[in-house]
Structure 1
Amino acid sequence: MKLPPADSELGKLMAMLPRQGRVEWIGLRPKREVAMDAVTQVIAQTGAGLVGDRYSGGSGERGITLIQAEHLPVIAALSGHDAVAPATLRRNLVVSGLPLVALKGRRFRIGEVVLEGTDDCDPCSRMEAALGAGGYNAMRGHGGLCARILDGGTIHLGDAVVALQD
């Protein structure tokens, strides 16, 4: 995604992230169609993914997936549930406190790890089985963000999520 010039009005607005976020949950998908493993920390490998996740070693564009904590109640409401557990949605990190969409096309830091938001993390057809009829549509626009790992390291629960200036 190409960002507008930094000195334009839109560029200034898009760069305005006065608060940092926080990692609220970490999960790994060891294999396709098996339950996720909730962990308190994970090693992020540059250009590869998360150690222990089935996508580790892939193309790197989807090295890590993130979802907005504030969207979980929305997805629950739209799919007819009182609540939705993070593992149900199969994203690696649940992040609160800043809008993930603002990190698309930008570099950001989680703890010691530097990432770049690459694309929306659209829902897959498995959300119908996970959330029930309409689950796919309940997640549309709320699926989160895919990111590439630029500088690896360890991500911990509670780590700050901070947009970097380019």
Structure 2
Amino acid sequence: MAFPFFGDDKSKIAQMLATLPQQGRLEWIGIRPVRREPLVSLPEAQALTDARLDGDHARVKAGGKRQITLIQHEHLTAVAGFLGQPEPVDPGRLRRNLAVSGLNLLALKNRRVQFGDEVVLEITGECHPCSRMEEELGPGGYNAMRGHGGLTARIIQGGRLRVGDAVRVLPSESA
């Protein structure tokens, strides 16, 4: 017996995917000007097509899957809770470029999202935590981040990103 939303019925899956809230908000932007140094929080930044954020030290290749990193803003409170901290973790400590609220980013893997009127990202995969989380967050930091590490993306269309920009899910090309 097949479950109503599983199996070969792709139209049911498409219907479920369409129920995902389709708009979020860019809450935070950060760049890493120098390797292993703290991130710099910015009110806006220039996303470079098929590259990185302008001013970020990251060396990325054209067509690469990890040109920019994102984290779910709502997860900042969860990570803090796992560490026994009363306040949400500052997103800069987690070494991701963008913090987005209002959308389940993990549900957007292999989808495209638009920030404001210009920037389009393609969500490419998960951004798992590394040992730096122990350095940054203290003992237990790595485990606190497991399942909350965020996502990687390619910059399909560059442009200006601004804190407060709407983040919209674009229609799937297969739809």
Q: Same fold (TM over 0.5)?
A: yes
Establish whether residue 76 from structure 1 lines up as the match of residue 83 from structure 2. Answer: no
TM value normalised by structure 2: 0.87
Partner SS state of residue 138, structure 1: helix
1:146: Cα distance to partner? Answer: 0.6
1:57: Cα distance to partner? Answer: 4.0
Establish whether residue 135 from structure 1 lines up as the match of residue 141 from structure 2. Answer: yes
Number of residue-to-residue matches in the alignment? 163
1:6: Cα distance to partner? Answer: 9.3
1:14: Cα distance to partner? Answer: 2.0
Establish whether residue 121 from structure 1 lines up as the match of residue 127 from structure 2. Answer: yes
Identity of aligned residues (%): 53
State the structure with more CA Rg: 2
Alignment of structure 1 residues 49-128 onto 2, 5 Å: 49-59=52-62, 60-83=64-87, 84-111=89-116, 112-128=118-134
Structure 1 unaligned regions, length at least 5 = none
The equivalent position to 1:11 in structure 2, one of 5, 14, 35, is 14
- Name the CA shift for 1:32/1:62 in 2 (closer, same or farther; >3 Å): same
- Name the CA shift for 1:35/1:6 in 2 (closer, same or farther; >3 Å): farther
1:88: Cα distance to partner? Answer: 0.6
TM value normalised by structure 1: 0.91
Establish whether residue 155 from structure 1 lines up as the match of residue 158 from structure 2. Answer: no
1:12: Cα distance to partner? Answer: 2.1
Q: Which moved more, 1:112-121 or 1:58-67?
A: 58-67
- Name the CA shift for 1:15/1:129 in 2 (closer, same or farther; >3 Å): same
Q: Residue 118 of structure 1 aligns to which amino acid in structure 2?
A: T
Whole-angstrom CA distance in 1 between matches of 2:8 and 2:46: 34
